[in-house]
Amino acid sequence: MIPQELLKLISNGESVTVEFKKSRTEVTKDVYETVCAFSNRNGGHIFLGINDDGEILGIEEDKVDKIKKEFVTSINNGNKMYPPLYLTPMEYESKGRHILYIRVPVSQDVSRCNGRIFDRNHDSDIDITHHSDEVYRLYARKSGSYYVNKVFPAFDISDLRSDLIERAKIMTRSRAKDHPCRHTAFWYRSNDHVRPAAAQDRCYFPGV
């Protein structure tokens, strides 16, 4: 029997955290892309043996064990999925039709599938490998916050290196001559805290 909480997920259809795959005789390659995307986003639920409309087609009974083994072996292969994952497909049966359910937790690290980075957008897996802004945002999410937006209350003006800031201003102007930095001072405050631009090497995390 399929648990009620899983039946509810199926009835609600595909979403940013739910994906259906037919995979009646084998694990299709897009299953691993979804695992990667879920790992990189919010985690999620993958159902094998169900079509895009949420209809339970079932996995061919003599292929269930083969699909389980193939899936577990592949996601533990660092060349296929990096970092390797340890997930166990759960088998359920409804009206003689077998499905596999895979719970994918969110990863603390950026996951790659066959060397490519996938992220979840609505009910689709998006390859963002060559989209530098999206990759940057993904790494920022994994690190907890955008470093450039982090405020360090322990900073003082004396902790800033004007020589490094001046070099940064020169580099910025070389790329964009009309950049506002050509008119501004090399430091500024936000809510009475100094932003951590070009600071000297020192730990500024409170309590550390």
Mean pLDDT of the chain: 85
Q: Is a pLDDT exceeding 60 seen at residue 176?
A: yes
**Residue 158 — pLDDT band, cuts 50, 70, 90?**
confident
Q: What are phi and psi of 125, to 5 degrees?
A: -100, 120
Its domain, for residue 158, covers: 151-194
In terms of domains, do 76 and 23 share one? Answer: yes
| Domains contained in the chain, number | 2
Q: Are 149 and 195 in contact (CB under 8 A)?
A: no
pLDDT tens by residue, 16-25: 999 999 999 9
In terms of domains, do 164 and 79 share one? Answer: no
Q: Determine the straight-line distance between the first and last CA of the chain, rounded to whole angstroms.
A: 51
pLDDT tens by residue, 129-145: 999 999 999 998 888 64
203: in domain:
no
Output the CA torsion 50→124→37→4 (10° steps).
Answer: -40
Q: Are 200 and 159 in contact (CB under 8 A)?
A: yes
In terms of domains, do 49 and 133 share one? Answer: yes
201: in domain:
no
pTM of the model: 0.70
In terms of domains, do 63 and 166 share one? Answer: no
**Residue 29 — pLDDT band, cuts 50, 70, 90?**
very high
